[in-house]
A and B are shown apart, each in its own frame.
Chain A
Amino acid sequence: MSGRGRLWLALAAAVVVVALAAVFAPGGRGGDTPDERVRDIASGLRCPVCQNLSVADSPSRLAGEMRSEIESQLEAGRTPDEVRAFFVERYGEWVLLAPTREGLNLLPWLVPVVGVVLGVGLWVYLLRRRPAREELA
């Protein structure tokens, strides 16, 4: 393999690593103050009485009450995952703004990575073919 090809391959590998890291990095910044912890959970929950607003962003009364519910559950010592599970049990997966990362749900995360890999692969392939063409011309 030529030096250039290796360079492209290294670049492609770097892109893949960064993309995978972005996909599997733990979500949520997990603030320290109680307000931040509530906001962290609420921003991942869909407000039931709104169109595409999170529980954190919605000014509706029900969203406010859901934030209080999150707060009191956290105060009672539940973990953020347990609180999220509470809402999923009642409202279904629907309530999560991002689907859980398992099974077929992984598709939205994996398709871009696969796309990048295929794209970079195609790019490298075409780049490597070009010098041959130039020699012919």
Chain B
Amino acid sequence: MRTEVPERPDVPDGAGRPRRPSWRTLALVLVPLAAFALLLAASLGRDPRALPSELVGDPAPAFALPNLEGGGIVDLEALRGQVVVVNFWASWCLECRDEHPALDAAWSRYRERGVVFVGVLFEDTIDDALAFAGEFATDWPLVDDPGSRTAIAYGVFGVPETFVIGPDGSVTAKRVGPVDYTWLTAEIDEALRAAEAA
């Protein structure tokens, strides 16, 4: 049995009682709004300070930089075949103070095994840097980076930043911010293992 639905009188748009928004109109407003909200939510969830480590896996940019104390240079090319830890630092950088004990402990543990540490000075004066090195009795090579050309070549955002370079001369790990002993030794061990396997 069919039920007769009384036909609605044809009310022209905009005449008589206010028209209820149709689903189409609603969708026209809501869909873009939802899309925008989703986009916003996805973007706001990202940490703008999480920085990409572009160089990992790539050849480490070459450098030959003068020793801070004068006399001689440290040439990365000459260290090929060894694991190299390149640490960008500055005396004004508080986190560099925080990480110094970890670097020092790792340096003591690995220096006999041919691992080389290089501290590259970043935006600092040589006097301040030498005072810092004296205070901490830093005894790995420290070099100056005139014009920050090496820092720029390594894509350094700030200090401290630390790169581990494998014996084949490619960057195997990068750390933004202070290193801790566990991370550093794990990365050095891995680079050394790769060296032995090769």
Q: Name A's B-contacting residues (CB within 8 A).
A: 48-49, 61-62, 65-66, 68-69, 87-94, 133, 136-137
* Complexed CA–CA distance, A94 and B51 (Å): 8
| B155 and A133 contact, CB distance less than 8 A | no
Chain B residues closer than 8 Å to A137, beta-carbon distance: 12, 14-15
Chain B residues numbered 100-154 whose CB sits less than 8 Å from any CB in chain A: 123, 147-149, 151-154
* Residue B156 interfacial (CB < 8 Å): yes
The residue in B15, B54, B149 that gathers the most chain A C-beta atoms within 10 A of its C-beta is B54
Whether a CB of chain A sits under 8 angstroms from the CB of B183 is no
Which 8 pairs from chain A and chain B are nearest by CB?
A90-B155, A92-B52, A65-B148, A48-B157, A91-B155, A136-B12, A92-B54, A65-B147
- The answer, yes or no, to whether B65 is at the interface (CB within 8 Å) is no
Q: In the complex the two chains form, is B14's CB within 8 Å of A90's CB?
A: no
Q: How far is the CA of A136 from the CA of B155 in the complex (A)?
A: 69
A94 — which chain B residues lie within 8 A by C-beta? 51-52
Query: Does chain A have a CB within 8 A of B13?
Result: yes
Cβ contacts under 8 Å, B147 to chain A: 65, 68-69
Question: A133 to B153, Cβ gap below 8 A?
Answer: no
A49 touches B158 (CB 8 A): yes
Q: Is the interface of A mostly helix, strand, loop or mixed?
A: helix
Contacts of B55 in A (CB 8 A): 89-90
Which of B58, B151, B153, B155 gathers the greatest number of chain A CB atoms within 10 Å?
B155
Which of B12, B14, B61, B155 makes the CB contact (< 8 A) with A92? Answer: B155
Interfacial chain B residues near A89, Cβ < 8 Å: 54-55, 58, 155
Known: A94-B52, A136-B12, A137-B15. A62 touches B123 (CB 8 A): yes
Question: In the docked arrangement, what's the CA distance between A68 and B152, Å?
Answer: 11
CB distance from B95 to the nearest CB of A (A): 14
Q: How far is the CB of B160 from chain A (nearest CB, A)?
A: 14
Q: Which of A48, A90, A93, A137 has the largest number of chain B CB atoms within 10 A?
A: A90
The chain B residue sitting closest to A61, CB to CB, is: B123
Decide: A49 near B149, CB < 8 A? Known: A62-B123, A94-B51.
no
**Which partner residue on chain A sits nearest B50 by CB separation?**
A94
The reply to whether A62 and B151 contact each other, CB–CB distance below 8 Å, is yes
Which residues of the partner chain A approach B51 to less than 8 Å between Cβ atoms? 92, 94
